[in-house]
Amino acid sequence: MVHNFAGGADGAHPFAGVIRDPDGNLYGTTGRGGNVAACPGKPAARAGCGVVYKLDSANNYTVLYTFTGADGRFPYAGVIRDSAGNLYGTTLFGGATDHGVIYKLDTTGQETVLYSFSGGDDGGNPYAGVVRDSAGNFYGTARNGGAAQFGVLYKLDAAGNYSVLHSFTCGVNDGDYPETDLATDSAGNLYGTSQYCGARWRDLQAGYGRQLYGPIQLPRRVRRGRPLSGVTVDASGNLYGTTKNGGNTVACPGGSFAGPGCGVVYELDTANNYTVLYSFASGADCARSCGSVFRTTNGEIYGTTYRGGKKNVGVIFEIMPQ
C-alpha cells in the first residue's frame, strides 16, 4: 500500500486508474475530496469537487490541483500526459452550465478549461477521459446530450475547435450513453463500447445490445453482456474486453437486473469474428468484470472482477493464451 486516501484535502474515491511517466511517477484523479469549502452544497460524505494528484517514485503524494466547480467538478476519468508533462482530462460536472469540462493542467499547476459542455447537441457529462493523437487533437465521449440525447463522440482539435463526430441515437446500427474510455489503433481508428441499444435491442423485451462505434455487432448470445469497460487493441488490431453479465448462465444462474450470467472476456478480431475467451462462474472462480483488460505482447490477459473470489469482493485474474 503506497497511499491511503484520508477523504479530505488529499481527495477521496478515486474512480479511475493511474498513468506513469518515464521517471516512474504516477498521476491520477479522485472523484471527491479536496477543498470542501470551495465546493459547497454536497453531503458531507461526498464533500469536495475532486483533485488531480501525483505520487512520485519515492511514494510521496502531492495534490497537483483541487477543483472548485466552475473549473470542473467530479473527475470520474483519469488523465493523459503529453511529452511536455501537461495533463489532460474531463470532469463529469462543473463548467459554465455544470455539464462537465475538458481541462488541461500544466506543469506549474495552472488549470485551463479547454471546453465546457452545454448538455445540448454538443453533449454533456463525460464519464470517460480523452485520448490524443500525434497532431494534438483530443477525442472522447459524453454520456448525455447530443441531437437525440443519447450521448456523443466528439473531437477537440489542437486549435480548440470542438465538433461532434457522432451523435448516438439508440438505433439499429448505434448505441447509447457511452461511458468508457476510447481506444485507438496505429491507423488512428477509434474504438469503444456502449451499454445498450444496437441491432438486437428492439426485438428483445429485456435484451441489452452492445456494439463498437461503427457497424460491428456482437452475437445474440451476449445480448445481455452489458460491457461497462472499454476495449483494448493489440498490435494486429484485435479487440479485447469484458462484460458484466452473460456467458455461462448455468455456472452463474443468479444475475442482476441485466440478466443471468457472470460475464465474459471476449476477443473481436479484425474480421469481426467474436470469441468468448473465458466465461466467468460464480463463487471462488470470480464474477462480474467491470474493468478493461490489459494484454501483454505474449498474449496473457489481466483484469479484475468486482464480485467473486473467496470473500466475494473480487479478484485479479490472468488468462493464458491457448
Q: So what's the pLDDT on residue 27?
A: 92
Which residues lie below 8 Å from residue 213, measured CB to CB, with a gap of 6+? 153, 166, 175, 178, 190, 191, 192
Distance CA 64, CA 305 (A): 30
Delimiting residues of CATH 2.120.10.30 domain(s) in the chain: 1-116
Q: Please state the length of the chain.
A: 322
C-alpha cell at 91: 470532469
Supply the pLDDT for residue 205.
Answer: 26
Domain with residues 1-116, CATH architecture? 6 Propeller (2.120)
* pLDDT block averages, 10 residues each, the chain of length 322: 84 85 92 83 67 93 95 93 97 96 98 98 95 94 94 95 93 77 85 70 32 34 50 88 76 55 85 87 61 79 73 73 78
**pLDDT score at 140:** 95
pLDDT of residue 214: 34
CB 286 within 8 A of CB 305: yes
The burial of 74, by beta-carbon neighbours within 10 Å (0-12 exposed, 13-18 middle, 19 or more buried), is given as buried
pLDDT of residue 45: 47
How much of the chain is helix, strand and coil, in % rounded to 5?
A: 0, 35, 65
